[in-house]
Amino acid sequence: IRRQPDTWKTTWEVWTEKRASLLQFFRERQPESILFTGCGTSYYLSIAAARLFQEQTGIPAQAVPASEIMIQPTAFFPPDRPALLVASSRSGETSEVVRAVKVVQERRLAPSLAITGEPASQLAQSAGFALALPHIREQSVVMTSSFTNLLFSLQLWTAIVAGNEDLLRELRQVPALGEKHLSTAEETARQLGAEESFTHFVYLGLGAYYGLACEGMLKMKEMTQTFCEAFNPLEFRHGPISTLNRQSRVFLLKSRVGHPHEQALVLDLQQSGADVTAIGEQAGTLGADRSVELPPGLGDGSRSILYLPFLQLLAYYRTLQLKQNPDQPRNLGQVVRL
Ligand code: F1P
């Protein structure tokens, strides 16, 4: 978790070196829609990437779990409209992702771009264009550095395809800002992780940040087997808020775009008994019980991966508190095969 910012620097280099060929691959295909896919963590990063891509390029994009494409490939590719499938997978061996890419190609529904940690994987071998990030190799079952590096990759790809030099410049600052942030965020994660009395965790994120909220939830669930949920912030008020009590801890991923509604939401959550932590730029302005500040100056689109190290460390410290092994969750292996 701690070495992530260093790996982001390498990811930046891998993508910018491949800039010309990536652009050529995209321009030759002229897709009118993009389908991002993956499983588990790789599906959650696809949710964030799809939204960021659509905001930047105006090209319709959505994220779908790879199992859905594997089972019903024709449901997602309208005839006569060129599309592109973008598949993410740390291992490149997860059955649903590999089969989804193969079936989409065999039936000529869309070309595919794959991003994976393993250059020799089935996914890398089957996709039309594969970009490998061997430097993200992780030994743990739980994906941490691979989530941020795969998402950072899709953000860089988005900036390249959109020809957005300002976004590329902002993304370039992220590794250095991440290093600074990690050194201060770790202490808060350690403190919160030690508070065992909280048994219900809720993660709230808007738009692309819904994917990040899902990932925060999954880390806590996999590492500690705690009851966790992720929601869109205002959706949470439509029923789920009634589950909150003094054992509930809510994490709100603050964004600039969602800001006008967040202060009132924090108050509602607190009145329902929950302890609220806000994470983001100027998180302290929301009146939450605690805030985790992210570095100022980045837009919502480039700040995304900076939310994760704190959420990962939080799950890690809770695992240690519960005397469990954060690298080896129950009932889960590094690669899920059908
Ligand atoms: C996806 C995944 C992870 C999960 C575990 C098993 O793998 O399901 O989300 O946490 O590590 O693999 P991948 O397709 O990205 O390799």
- This model of the complex carries an ipTM of 0.96
Quick check: is 327 in a domain? no
Under the banding of pLDDT at 50, 70 and 90, the label for residue 98 is very high
Assess if residue 178 is contained within a domain: yes
- Ligand 1 binding site (Cβ under 6 Å of any ligand atom): 39-42, 89-91, 94, 97, 141-143, 222, 332, 334-336
> Residues near 105 by Cβ (< 8 Å), separated by ≥ 6?
111, 112, 126, 127, 128
Which residue's alpha carbon is nearest to atom 10 within ligand 1? 142
Query: What pLDDT band is residue 334 in, cutting at 50, 70 and 90?
Result: confident
The answer to whether position 236 is within a domain reads yes
Residue 278: per-residue pLDDT: 98
Same domain, 34 and 140: yes
- What atom of ligand 1 comes closest to residue 42's alpha carbon? 15
Nearest of 321, 308, 328, 318 to residue 150 by alpha carbon? 308
Domain count, the chain: 2
pLDDT of residue 100: 98
- Looking at the domain assignment, is residue 284 inside a domain? yes
Q: Rounded to 5, what percent of the chain is helix, strand, coil?
A: 55, 15, 30
**CA–CA separation, 299 and 196 (whole Å):** 35
Residue bearing the CA closest to ligand 1, atom 14: 89
Per-chain mean pLDDT for the chain? 96
Report pLDDT digits (tens) over 269-290: 999 999 999 999 999 999 999 9
In a domain, 25, yes or no: yes
- Structural domain range at position 30: 4-163
Does residue 334 form part of some domain?
Answer: no
Q: Are residues 287 and 195 in the same domain?
A: yes
Q: How far is the CA of 1 from the centre of ligand 1 (A)?
A: 16
- Taking 80 as the threshold, does the pLDDT of residue 258 lie above it? no
- Band (329; pLDDT cuts 50, 70, 90): confident
| Other CB atoms within 10 A of residue 134 CB | 12
- Closest-CA residue, ligand 1 atom 12, reads 335
Kindly list the distances between the CA atom of residue 328 and the CA atoms of 142, 238, 315, 336, in Å, as whole numbers in the listed order: 7, 35, 13, 14
State whether 156 and 176 are in the same domain: no
The pLDDT of 148-162, averaged and rounded, is: 97
Distance, CA of 31 to chain centre: 23
Strands (E), 10-110: 33-38, 61-65, 83-89
Coil, strand or helix at 118: coil
Return the CATH number at 52.
3.40.50.10490
- Whether residue 264 is found in the same domain as residue 286: yes
What average pLDDT score do residues 233-252 get?
A: 97
Q: Is the dihedral of CA 68, 71, 73, 75 positive or negative?
A: negative
d(CA 23, CA 25): 5
